[in-house]
Amino acid sequence: MTRPSPKIGVYGFTGCAGDQLMILNCEDQLVDLFGATEIRSFVMAKSDNHEAELDVALVEGSISTEAQLKHLKDIRERSKVLIAIGTCACWGGPQAMKLGDGKFEERYKKVYGNAKITVSKAIEGQPLDAFVKVDMKIPGCPIDKQEFLKSVSKLVAGKHPYLLKSPVCLECKWKENKCLLLDGKFCAGPLTKGGCGAVCPSHNLPCVGCWGPTDDLNVSAEYDLLKEKGFVPEEIITKIRKFGGSGVMELVKNLEKKEAKK
């Protein structure tokens, strides 16, 4: 049984283009990928692009201008499935670390002053699902080749992709690493979605949370533990928010409320 090749579009908004680059970096499987699918649009990779109906749109980056928002809505309208790729598209990325603090205008003024902006009006950077329905999130900074290819392969085969939901600690323990939290290091592993192979802790470097929040994170327990280890509250919250974006916004707010009551 042969299925028609799915029509795919790859797009990038506010991000480092690392996720699109990672797709191009799938050297061994790139030919298969282009063979098994019909890549209708991928501006970063080719010049002959058709903006038409899509089976799957892979979208990188957060939305931070009105023009981007318009483009995103257009992509959504003509795509059966829309997948956010990379932490910026999924949760907002570092540009969303202050999300929801109500001080965007203030920050904007500080940077641009009264300069006349002719490109497109900037808005506070937010993940795709703040504006349109997102069918699936493949986070990562950048995304992991294997996780990406496994997901696409399943989509092409008409099956549901499976992404690990558990935290970085799962694979960290498979590698028999000693937990860095026990050594008093700031490891964001328990808060962060796994699938990266626990690369950082396996090199004795604490996880910084670059894959964004995991399925079920206990922000307040991590906060209490780190405070006990001697970290100051501002640093803990800044680091949790660095890649957490919309995924930790409410959790951090609750934590701050709880702390204020103490």
57 binds ligand SF4 (CB under 6 A): no
Among 129, 177, 199, 220, binds ligand SF4 (CB under 6 A): 177
* Distance between CA atoms of residues 20 and 38, nearest Å: 16
* CB-nearer residue toward ligand SF4: 89 or 172: 172
* CB-nearer residue toward ligand SF4: 134 or 217: 217
Angle between helices 27-36 and 145-156 (to 10 degrees): 20
Tokens in use for 260? 């204020």
* CB-nearer residue toward other proteins: 166 or 238: 166
The distance of closest approach from Cβ of residue 115 to other proteins in the complex, given in angstroms and rounded to an integer, is 45
* Distance between CA atoms of residues 119 and 69, nearest Å: 14
* Distance between CA atoms of residues 54 and 40, nearest Å: 8
220 binds ligand SF4 (CB under 6 A): no
Among 181, 196, 236, 248, binds other proteins (CB under 8 A): 181
Among 67, 81, 132, 179, binds other proteins (CB under 8 A): 179
* Distance between CA atoms of residues 38 and 9, nearest Å: 9
Tokens in use for 160? 């549901």
Exposure string over 45-77, b if 16+ CB within 10 A, otherwise e: eeeeeeeeebbbbbbbbbbbbeebbebbeebbe
* Distance between CA atoms of residues 117 and 103, nearest Å: 20
Are 89 and 48 spatial neighbours (Cβ–Cβ below 8 Å)? Answer: no
240 binds other proteins (CB under 8 A): no
* Distance between CA atoms of residues 39 and 36, nearest Å: 9
Among 195, 201, 209, 244, binds ligand SF4 (CB under 6 A): 201
* CB-nearer residue toward other proteins: 169 or 251: 169
Interacting positions 202-221 with other proteins (CB under 8 A): 215-218, 220-221
* CB-nearer residue toward other proteins: 61 or 212: 212
Binds 149: which of other proteins, ligand SF4, none (CB < 5-8 Å by kind): other proteins
236 binds ligand SF4 (CB under 6 A): no
Interacting positions 20-49 with other proteins (CB under 8 A): 29, 32-33, 35-36
Residues in the chain: 262
CA atoms within 13 A on the CB side of 170: 13
Query: Applying CB under 6 A, which residues contact ligand SF4?
Result: 168-169, 172-173, 177, 179-181, 187, 189-190, 198, 201, 207
Query: Applying CB under 8 A, which residues contact other proteins?
Result: 1, 29, 32-33, 35-36, 149-150, 152-154, 156-157, 159, 162, 165-167, 169-170, 172-174, 176-179, 181-182, 189-190, 215-218, 220-222, 224-225
